[in-house]
Amino acid sequence: MPLLLRRHRLFLLALVLLSIALAWRLFGPSGVTVEVTAKTWQRDIEIERLGLELGSAWCDELPAQAQDIVRRPLQDPEGRRGLAEHCRYQAPQWRARRSERAEGQDPTPPRWPAEPRLTQGLERSGVRHERYALQLRSADDGRPWTCELPQPRWQQFHTGQRLRLQVDRHGVADCGSLR
């Protein structure tokens, strides 16, 4: 009897594993063969401009360059100060006002836009953004996808290359699965 019971358990285990594999095949993500149709890149530099901005804070927490200060007594809702002076003020702050962009497609190597003309003392270069994307097309039905990748990973691929891409049942691509 123990031998029969062991065989029965092995049979059930094999049946469960086979069922899991079949369910994965039927309902799991499907791999699609895709071709890289283009490699695009885009780099931006934000240009910030110094301007007066309105603000309000407790008067003992004002920025160093605050000006045109209007004070009024106010009860602290957190209870740390009791009745204290609350101030409305103007202070110079840097804000992104425009951006310079360079964009292109492989084989043109990514580059930053030319250093923009800045109004001295009033403008400065701010945050830099970069975006690298692969344009993909299904080899079966021509369906397109775009995958944004970090630059080192983006550089590993070339136009015309065929890859395997996991796509869920809703048609959403898993760009991390590109092989």
Q: pLDDT digits over 32-77, tens only? A: 899 999 999 999 999 999 999 999 998 888 999 998 889 998 888 8
CB 130 within 8 A of CB 19: no
Least confident of 2-11, 34-43, 129-138, 146-155: 2-11
d(CA 80, CA 115): 48
pLDDT at 28 over 60: no
Residue of 116 and 111 predicted with greater confidence: 111
d(CA 80, CA 61): 13
Alpha helices per DSSP H over the chain: 2-27, 151-154
DSSP class of 167: E
pLDDT at 31 over 60: yes
Q: What are the DSSP E strand ranges found in 24-141?
A: 30-58, 67-75, 83-105, 123-138
Q: What is the pLDDT of residue 82?
A: 81
Instruction: Write down the residue that tokens 């691929």 correspond to.
Output: 157
* Domain residue ranges of the chain, discontinuous segments joined by +: 2-177
d(CA 148, CA 134): 6
What is the reported pTM?
Answer: 0.70
Q: pLDDT digits over 92-102, tens only? A: 999 999 999 99
